[in-house]
Amino acid sequence: MTARLSEALRGLADDVPPARVPDGLFDAARTRHRRRRAAVAGVLAVLVLLLGTGYALHPVALPMPASPRHDTPGLPTRLVDPPLRTASVRDSAPGAAAMLFGGPAVRTDWFETRMGVVAADGDRYRVLDVGSVVAGFEALLSPDGRYVSAGPSLLDLKTGRFTPGPADGYPLAFAPDGKRLVYADDETWFTPPNTYSTPYVGVYDRERGTDVLRVRVGTAWIPAGRTAALSPDGGDLALQVRDEVWLTRVADAGADRVAEPYRRLPLAGGRLAGAGSWLPDGRSVAVLNRSTCTDCPVPSYRRTWTLALRSTVDGTPLVGAAFPSLPSRSFVQLLGWRSADEAVALVGVPSPEAVDQPESHDIAWGPYHEPATEAVELVVLRRGAPTPEVLFRTPQGITDLSVAADLAIAGAVRESGRPDYGPLPFWALAVGFVLAVLVALPVLSLLRRWRASRPGPASSATGSAR
């Protein structure tokens, strides 16, 4: 029975016509598969390019551990050199700063005027480039750390945007409350045989948005640095003009905002001590006397500074215990006073190879940035103390420094943590986008060549027929 059934089924199978597969069916399926893969690859490449473009145009912070905020702002215990990938102040504002710094370690061959900023309440590092200026001299940090003055505008570090400032000129000193700024007109005149003249020095009021005082200087040059100071209430200006300190009241300014000095203190070779020269009582100023020491630690650099006080009432020297001298220091910049007996200052430390240059014939050439400086120290000068107390010293390669005077005077210090360098800067994202394009184009070209090298439907059909 089984044998008959099998024979019957074989007969039926022999009578069924064979199935006919259309020519090129498998080749067409293979071609469709290749086209789908190429289309997916093209879409992915376009998406990569679009995402790269959007990322370059709208940079965002990369996921990274955030810099911890401190409840009490302060000066950091450690200062680091911001790497190239550090965000700029204008792209990512750091907030009120503790320090503005510069030097060979911060500048590069491509960014020759680069400066660094570190926030007061955390280790948020940002970079700033506003031209060929030196931190602590032509670029000053306001006492509260919010503003940077580096020309005709004030940079707000909380917003990263410029705010109105003096019309022209370079900064000399902030008032202790930060509301007023002393600046010098930068349209200097050459005065033979070897110096320049500054037309005037102005006092700009940030809240009013205008000058409140101008002092005509005449034929003297007022360099950037430590040549001016405003009294604690911002009402009196002390200005070094050659070998004198001119004292001028803001209230004496007339309708043209110009006033004449009410007193001139002879310096006898000394100089004004800096933006913090006024004592808290507003009735005396600090001056620096320069001498040559015989036992300085750097034999070739024998400049010694001694702090002295002068009355603004009658110009007489004030007696009292002496402040410690500062031997072998390239400059001294007084920031302010903790009391009548304690002053806080920045001092320049010269390199071992530095050679002290003799004083110029014009004392106004004195207070300027010293290229021989290899580090800057933040110190406290106490009456009767044998030596100054060093609070902070910049690391190697950081030779320019401006600090928030409020923090330095208060002695506010915070522990440094992990640096936060912010989002990648625009130039780094643009380079990444260009690299993505350069990689995507060869990949697409290889895909096209690979498709062209694969056998087509005609060649596949020929092979099947064989």
Structure tokens at 248: 């001028």
Cα 117 vs. chain centroid, distance in angstroms? 4
Written as tens digits, the pLDDT of the chain (466 aa) is 667 767 766 766 666 666 565 666 566 666 666 666 665 565 565 555 555 554 444 443 333 344 556 668 999 999 999 998 899 998 899 999 999 999 999 987 777 889 999 999 999 999 998 887 889 888 999 999 999 998 777 999 999 999 888 877 899 999 999 999 999 988 877 766 657 788 999 999 999 999 999 999 988 888 887 899 999 999 999 999 988 999 999 999 988 999 999 999 998 878 899 999 999 999 999 999 988 777 766 666 777 899 999 999 888 888 888 999 998 888 899 999 999 999 999 999 988 777 766 554 333 344 445 667 899 999 999 999 999 999 999 999 999 999 999 999 999 999 998 999 988 766 666 666 677 777 776 777 777 776 666 665 544 444 444 4
Residue at 420 is within a domain? no
Rounded to whole angstroms, how far apart are CA atoms 171 and 186? Answer: 10
As for how many domains the chain has, the answer is: 2
Q: Do the bridges between strand 75-76 and strand 413-414 make them parallel or antiparallel, or are there none, so unpaired?
A: parallel
Domain shared by 444 and 298, yes or no? no
CA 466 to each of CA 16, 459, 460, 461: distance values in angstroms, whole numbers, following the listed order: 26, 11, 10, 9
Would you say the C-alpha torsion 12, 17, 22, 26 has a positive or negative sign? positive
DSSP string, 260-289: --SEEEE-TT-EE--TT-B-TTSSEEEEEE
Going by C-alpha positions, the residue among 366, 364, 242, 263 that lies closest to residue 316 is 263
Domain shared by 206 and 229, yes or no? yes
Provide the whole-model pTM: 0.77
Domain shared by 217 and 116, yes or no? yes
Q: How many residues does the chain have?
A: 466
Cα 134 vs. chain centroid, distance in angstroms? 10
Assign 260 to helix, strand or coil.
Answer: coil
Domain shared by 325 and 463, yes or no? no
- The answer to whether 298 touches 350, Cβ cutoff 8 Å, is yes
| Structural domain span for residue 449 | 26-62+427-466
Neighbours of 152 (CB within 10 A): 16
Rounded to whole angstroms, how far apart are CA atoms 328 and 349? Answer: 7
Domain shared by 255 and 310, yes or no? yes
Residue at 456 is within a domain? yes
Token pair 């007969």 is found at 11
Residue at 3 is within a domain? no
Domain shared by 98 and 156, yes or no? yes
Token pair 């005027």 is found at 113
Q: What are phi and psi of 127, to 5 degrees?
A: -115, 155
Q: Do the bridges between strand 263-266 and strand 244-249 make them parallel or antiparallel, or are there none, so unpaired?
A: antiparallel
Domain shared by 211 and 118, yes or no? yes
Domain shared by 224 and 340, yes or no? yes
CA 72 to each of CA 75, 412, 441: distance values in angstroms, whole numbers, following the listed order: 10, 8, 52
Domain shared by 51 and 139, yes or no? no
Residue at 21 is within a domain? no
Q: What are phi and psi of 252, to 5 degrees?
A: -85, -5
